[in-house]
Structure formats: structure tokens, C-alpha cells
Amino acid sequence: MHGAVSDKSDTKTESSAVPGDSSDTTRYDFMVVSNRLPVDRCAPGEPGDDGSGWRRSPGGLVTALAPMMTRTDGAWVGWHGAADETVEPFSHGGMDLVPVQLSSDDVELYYEGFSNATLWPLYHDVIAPPEFHRTWWDAYRTVNRRFADAVVRTADEGATVWVQDYQLQLVPRMLRQARPDLKIGFFNHIPFPPPEIFAQLPWRQAIIDGLLGADLVGFQRSSDAGNFMRSARRFLGASVKQQQVHVKDTEGDLTHIARAQAFPISIDVQHITELARKPEIIERARQIRQDLGNPKTILLGVDRLDYTKGIGHRLKAYEELLNEGHLKVGDATLIQVASPSRERVEQYRLLREEVEGTVGHINGTYDTIENTAVRYLHHSYPVEEMVALYLAADVMLVTALRDGMNLVAKEYVTARTNNDGALVLSEFAGAADQLKQALLMNPHDIDGLKDAVMRAVKMSPKESARRMRAMRKQILDHDVDHWSADFLNALNEKVIRDDS
Ligand SMILES: O=P(O)(O)OC[C@H]1O[C@H](O[C@H]2O[C@H](CO)[C@@H](O)[C@H](O)[C@H]2O)[C@H](O)[C@@H](O)[C@@H]1O
Ligand SMILES: O=c1ccn([C@@H]2O[C@H](COP(=O)(O)OP(=O)(O)O)[C@@H](O)[C@H]2O)c(=O)[nH]1
């Protein structure tokens, strides 16, 4: 395991080591803070319920952080997914979890509003128009303060605190002000926009200032880190040298150096590989193919139902290929998993209607009594089923219009332990920086996307093996443990001021 955090054999502090505090709160010397905890509250018997009233939270952030947190001695601070419900700190799946409460208003204004209807579209190339509301911003500040307070209460003296993602960009500064003893890291899982787009945000200075409270700010791509540093210079007048931002107080004195760097996130390679070799999962993959009538080619898309994922572009390309006779129902089937996401946000509601309308149209036009063109699944599946789907699919389609990383792409490649199959990958997903042997394409170019799909469908086993081997090696050499270790080691490095 990485050197920067202690593993489970070390003990956490049962009483306060923070000067002046005599409470008997459990304190931690390593803490992760994210909007979501790895599990969501659910009603008994609801889909995904693990039998104890909890289900796995959606999305790649949880996929990436959970393996590290089950293996290290620390706490995870986050929301437990149920509005207006108070939950005491608890353990689940070998992790110590510290819940932060959100009211229904907080969910509406901070989570659905500022996080997912202002920041999310702004940071993803304004694919949907961002909305700017002062009441949302007020709620964002208030809720960020609540997360910071939860850390202040439970972090040991000198603890390492790793804040995650765009929902909590003000937390690093709040922590530095309240607890200058802490080592503070921040990782942004989504893209950071160029200053020309970031400029639209009425609270742009406060956001940059919030992030600069960290000692190290991590991004998925070096272009994201570059965008952030350009914004720090442009909107705060910060002095930026190489990867260092010199942060000054109101008197102009240097308070600290915040570094900004890319740390591309990855997956738990060992876990996915083990699952892919399990006889029952291999059998399940065979069953999936058989249930679809054993077509020659199964194409697969797996996404949260999000407008950033380019599901509409994918369906358009697929429909044209059917229409032009390049693909034929019976020979080919597209499985599209669209897992439910942010369902109360207007743009997501509209997207669902649009995607389901298109799928209905394609199936109505091309289905036969025996075979379907698109097997559309608006569900969230456990990882075992995901791996069975990866094994069943000859071609994986990742057509994001913009995506921080896209772990699905890395999972597909990892699951193909026989080095077969083909990955069609958008150049706008962070994963494109690492998976250079994928069939990279621009999803806005529908003809280019169609060409890539047909190249994947027709790819020779030799070419598949060559590409897959190279991509598998990249992922095997850079799994999620490397990601967390690289980040945490960099966070703990002594910083030498760069004045060049
Ligand atoms: O928490 P939700 O609002 O339900 O959304 C789920 C997560 O979506 C986003 O995931 C991102 O993180 C992945 C891992 O780094 C990355 O591969 C992907 O490209 C990102 O979109 C979001 O950033 C998370 O905060 C959410 O929990
Ligand atoms: O039904 C589903 C759909 C997705 N996932 C997982 O959700 C994560 C999605 O991460 P990604 O980075 O691709 O996208 P995000 O949803 O975070 O934007 C991956 O680990 C998937 O295996 C899952 O477990 N069940």
C-alpha cells in the first residue's frame, strides 16, 4: 500500500489530540471528504439494498475511492443520500463513515442547483446552459462550511485531509483558516474549464480562492491543471511558477504554495480481473449473449444518464449504420445501460425523455420479432453484472462529449483478460490521455464516429490483441492504488519554492 496513509493495522486516536478540545470524539489522521459517502440510505428491499438499508452510491468517484478506504485507517466524511435524516457516524464495508446532514432545501439549492445545474454544465464545456442564482451560491457556501466543520471536529492534529470534487471547492480554504495544522489536498474529478468559460461564473474569485486553500490541487488531465493556473493568474492575480501558485494574504505576504498537477484516476485492477476470471461471471456473460439471440456483434454503452456522455450521438450513429445496412439487427445488438442520475434536475429529466424517445423510435423501426436493435436498461447494476456485460460485449462505446476520466473505459479493457474486443473512445474523455490505442474519435463528427464503430466491428483478432495488450499494460501499471499513492506522496513532499 502507499506510504502516505497508515493501513488498517494502525490505530486511530480515540480521544482528542487537538489542543484545547477535551471531548472524546474519535479523531483521524487521514480523512477523505466528498459530497457522497460510498453508500446511500435506501428503504429495505429497494433495488440495490445490501440488506442493511444501504446501497452503493452511483458514479466513478466512489468506485475509485472505496478500495483505498477499505484498506486504510481513516474516515470518509460525506452525505448519506437521504435528505432531512440525521445519521450518526458508523462503519460499513470496513470503512469509518462520518455523515453530513443535508436538508431538502440543501439538496435542491446546493446539490441539484449550484453543483449540478451551475458548476457541472459550466465545467463540461457548457454542453447545457449553466444557471446562475445567488440563492444557490449562498447554499453552496453554507453547505461547504458544514462539511469543513465536520472535518475540523474530527481531524487529529496534523492530519491529512483529502477533499474531493467540485461540490466542495470552498472547503480547502475553510479548513486552512480553521486548522492551519492540517495537510490539505483537493482532487477535481471533472474537467476544469478554460478561463474564457470559467469567466462566466459570478463567484469565480471565491472558487479559485477556496481551492488555493489546499497544498495540492489535483486534476484528471494536465490541460485541466493548466486551465486552473491560468484562472488563478487571471482572476486573482496570483503569481504562478511552473506548477506552483504562490498564495498571499491581504497584506501581500506569502502564506503558502499551492501546487496544481494532473493525477489521472484509475480502477481497482485486481478486483476487476478476479471477477472477469470467475466461472460464474463468464457463464453469466455467455447467458447474456444467448438471451440476445447470440448476435455476431454486441455493442455496449454504460453511462449515468447524463448529457455529458453523448448517448444521443451514439444512438444517432448506430441508427444511421442500421439504416444504411452496414449493421443488421440479428447480427448486431446495442446494449445501453443508462443508470439513473440526478433525476430531479430539469436537464436530466429532458435527457431521459429524449433518449427513451430515440430508443423507442429505433426499436420500433428496426426490431424483428426475434431480435432487438437496442436493449435499453434504465438500471444500476452491481459490479459483478457490469463485468459480465464487459465480457459479453465485442465493442465498447464511450462517446462522451466531455468527461473527467470515464472509468467504464478502463474497466472494459481490464475485464478483457483475453486481449480481445475493441474500445471506441471519445477524445473528450480524460481516459483518452492514457488509452491511446483505443479507436479515438470526436463524437460530434457522426461520420467519424460511424467509421470508428465499423472499424471496431470489423477489427481483426490480431489488431484487437495488439491494441488491448498495450491498453491493459497501461492500466495494470497505473491502477487506483498508484493514483492515491502518487497524490498523497506528492501532498507530503517538501515544497521547494520555484522562482524561475
Ligand atoms: O454523486 P452524483 O451526483 O450521483 O454523481 C456521480 C459522480 O459523478 C461524477 O463522477 C466523476 O468521477 C469519476 C471518477 O474520477 C470520473 O471518471 C468521471 O469522469 C467524473 O464525472 C462526479 O464527479 C462525482 O462527484 C459524482 O459522485
Ligand atoms: O449500472 C451501473 C453503471 C455504472 N456503474 C459503475 O459506475 C462507475 C462510473 O464511473 P465513470 O467514471 O465511468 O462515470 P461517472 O458516472 O462517474 O461520471 C463505473 O465504476 C461503473 O462500473 C455501476 O457500478 N453500475
- The string of pLDDT tens digits covering residues 379-400 is 999 999 999 999 999 999 999 9
pLDDT in tens, 69-127: 999 999 999 999 999 999 999 999 999 999 999 999 999 999 999 999 999 999 999 99
Measured from the Cα of 309, ligand 2's closest atom is 18
State which residues form the domain around 455: 269-477
Which pairing describes strands 39-41 and 54-56: parallel, antiparallel, or unpaired? antiparallel
pLDDT at 1: 36
Q: Where would I find the beta strands (DSSP E) of 151-235? A: 155-164, 183-187, 216-219
Helix extents (H) in 13-159: 60-71, 104-106, 120-123, 134-154
Cα 467 to ligand 2 centre (Å): 23
Average pLDDT of the segment spanning 167-184: 98
Q: Is 265's C-beta closer than 6 angstroms to any atom of ligand 1?
A: yes
Average pLDDT of the segment spanning 455-467: 98
pLDDT at 250: 86
DSSP string, 22-54: -----BEEEEEEEEE-SEEE--TTSTT--SSSE
* Alpha-carbon gap, residue 75 to 164, rounded angstroms: 13
Average pLDDT of the segment spanning 13-29: 62
Q: Is 64's C-beta closer than 6 angstroms to any atom of ligand 1?
A: yes
CA dihedral (104, 345, 166, 267) positive or negative: positive
Same domain, 472 and 486: no
Average pLDDT of the segment spanning 220-228: 98
Q: Is residue 96 part of a domain?
A: yes
Q: Is 168's C-beta closer than 6 angstroms to any atom of ligand 1?
A: no
Instruction: With cut-offs at 50, 70 and 90, classify the pLDDT of residue 19.
Output: very low
Same domain, 171 and 299: no
pLDDT at 8: 61
For residue 294, what are the contacts with CB-CB under 8 A and spacing of at least 6?
A: none
Same domain, 261 and 276: no
pLDDT at 25: 81
Average pLDDT of the segment spanning 311-326: 98
For residue 477, what are the contacts with CB-CB under 8 A and spacing of at least 6?
A: none
Q: Is residue 499 part of a domain?
A: no
For residue 496, pLDDT beyond 50: yes
**Per-residue CA distances from 109 to 130, 192, 480 (Å):** 14, 22, 32
Q: Is 59's C-beta closer than 6 angstroms to any atom of ligand 1?
A: yes
Out of 79, 169, 190, mutate this one to test ligand 1's pocket (max ligand atoms within 8 Å of CB): namely 190
Measured from the Cα of 306, ligand 2's closest atom is 18
Counting ligands in written order, the one closest to the CA of 405 is 1
Q: Is residue 301 part of a domain?
A: yes
Cα 119 to ligand 1 centre (Å): 13
- CATH code for position 439: 3.40.50.2000
Measured from the Cα of 63, ligand 1's closest atom is 14
The number of folded domains in the chain is 2
Out of 35, 124, 339, mutate this one to test ligand 2's pocket (max ligand atoms within 8 Å of CB): namely 339
Cβ proximity of 74 and 9 under 8 Å: no
For residue 192, pLDDT beyond 50: yes
Same domain, 215 and 312: no
DSSP 416: -
CA-nearest of 274, 335, 280, 325 to 303 is 335
Same domain, 397 and 287: yes
If you average pLDDT over every residue of the chain, what do you get?
94
Same domain, 66 and 187: yes
Cα 317 to ligand 2 centre (Å): 23
Out of 56, 61, 309, 426, mutate this one to test ligand 1's pocket (max ligand atoms within 8 Å of CB): namely 61
pLDDT at 499: 74
pLDDT at 280: 98
Same domain, 331 and 473: yes
Q: Is residue 9 part of a domain?
A: no
Average pLDDT of the segment spanning 391-414: 98
pLDDT at 5: 56
Same domain, 157 and 306: no
Q: Is 190's C-beta closer than 6 angstroms to any atom of ligand 1?
A: yes
pLDDT in tens, 279-288: 999 999 999 9
Q: Is residue 282 part of a domain?
A: yes
Complex-level ipTM beyond the 0.90 threshold: yes
Cell of 14: 480515540
Counting ligands in written order, the one closest to the CA of 309 is 2
Same domain, 243 and 348: no
Residues whose beta carbon lies within 6 Å of some atom of ligand 2:
59-60, 63, 302, 304, 337, 339, 380-381, 383, 386, 405-408, 411
Same domain, 416 and 323: yes
Backbone angles phi, psi at 292, to 5 degrees: -90, 5
Same domain, 456 and 488: no
Q: Which residues of 486-500 are buried (b: 16+ CB within 10 A; e: fewer)?
A: bbbebbeeeeeeeee
Cα 359 to ligand 2 centre (Å): 21
DSSP 435: -
Q: What angle do CA 191, 68, 52 make, to 5 degrees?
A: 100
Q: Is residue 1 part of a domain?
A: no
Q: Is residue 196 part of a domain?
A: yes
Measured from the Cα of 220, ligand 1's closest atom is 15
pLDDT at 2: 38
Q: Is residue 387 part of a domain?
A: yes
Average pLDDT of the segment spanning 399-414: 98
CA-nearest of 290, 282, 263, 114 to 203 is 114
pLDDT at 257: 95
Instruction: With cut-offs at 50, 70 and 90, classify the pLDDT of residue 23.
Output: low
Average pLDDT of the segment spanning 233-242: 94
Q: Which residues of 328-355 are buried (b: 16+ CB within 10 A; e: fewer)?
A: bbbebbbbbbbbebbeebebbeebbeeb
pLDDT in tens, 137-161: 999 999 999 999 999 999 999 999 9
pLDDT in tens, 25-83: 899 999 999 999 999 999 888 888 888 899 999 999 999 999 999 999 999 999 999 99
Same domain, 113 and 184: yes
